[in-house]
Amino acid sequence: MRILIVNPFGDTEVYGQENLGRVARPDTEFDVVNIADVYPLRNNQWLYFRHMCTDGTLEKVMWAEKQGYDAVFISCSLDIGLHEARQLVDIPVTATLESAALVAHMMGSTYSLVTVDRQNGNIQEMLLRNYGLHDHFVSQRPFGIDANDLYPDRTPPGEVIEAVVEAARLCVSEDGAEVVVPGCTLAGSVLTHDVPEVESVIGAPVLDGMVTGFKIAEMMADMHAAGIPAVSRRGWFEKPPEQDFHKLRSFLNRPT
């Protein structure tokens, strides 16, 4: 099995490849790419930035299908281009927030997000409502470190862990969360790497959305290989008209 992991920003998550290497199946190979060739920033936490990341992300997803990958995992808690990608390719595409929220629903009756800031958390809440996964959501608590500053060259991992753990504990003790989801893959990857017994630290399981989305990509690739389509083409994920798609790609001088 081959899975492409797309970081929809201009860098890659610290410890991400190492963390996924520990949980990948022996028969799974994966590659990690980003969109630094078309998007220079190391973060995408604002609505305009999220919009500007989408095109480059979709190009990577379409490229992955042509290169024979079995699935794509979009590694970002804003799920950049997830639904658009599912309209365009026939291989499974997963993303961070949707995957974590789906699993959180199976693990407990309530869950919370710890986010970089309130506006970023509001975007994720919007996505959860769109997914139909907001009913069990009880709170978001910002941990107050900008996504640009979550890299080790800007903030020591210990400081990131302290801030995330403090916010997560409040989600459990004051908001009633039974599961906590880090609302940024950069924060989740540091926590997974350095705090293996995190449940005992905050009092509830913490779902690293990067690990969760990757493992669901493996599962969806297995289902696809067994003859189950990655999505239904009957409605929401119907492919664009082929003639219009080719006209647009030709206009943009991109491969069809």
* Residue 104 CB coordination number (10 Å): 26
Tens digit of each residue's pLDDT (9 = 90 or more) over 244-253: 999 999 999 9
8 Å CB contact between 210 and 189: yes
8 Å CB contact between 61 and 94: no
- pLDDT at position 20: 97
Q: What is the pTM of this model?
A: 0.96
Can you tell me the distance from the alpha carbon of 151 to that of 129, in angstroms, rounded to the nearest whole number? 30
8 Å CB contact between 100 and 209: yes
8 Å CB contact between 6 and 73: yes
Tens digit of each residue's pLDDT (9 = 90 or more) over 129-160: 999 999 999 999 999 999 999 999 999 999 99
Tens digit of each residue's pLDDT (9 = 90 or more) over 99-132: 999 999 999 999 999 999 999 999 999 999 999 9
Can you tell me the distance from the alpha carbon of 182 to that of 77, in angstroms, rounded to the nearest whole number? 8
* pLDDT category of residue 209 using cuts at 50, 70 and 90: very high
8 Å CB contact between 182 and 114: yes
Place of tokens 């769109």: 130
**CA-CA-CA-CA torsion sign (200, 206, 211, 217):** positive
pLDDT at 196 over 90: no
Q: What is the CA radius of gyration of the chain?
A: 18
Extract the tokens encoding 224: 């696809």
Stretch 239-246: mean pLDDT, rounded? 96
| Helix ranges restricted to H, the chain | 16-23, 47-66, 82-88, 96-107, 118-131, 157-173, 185-194, 198-202, 209-225, 242-251
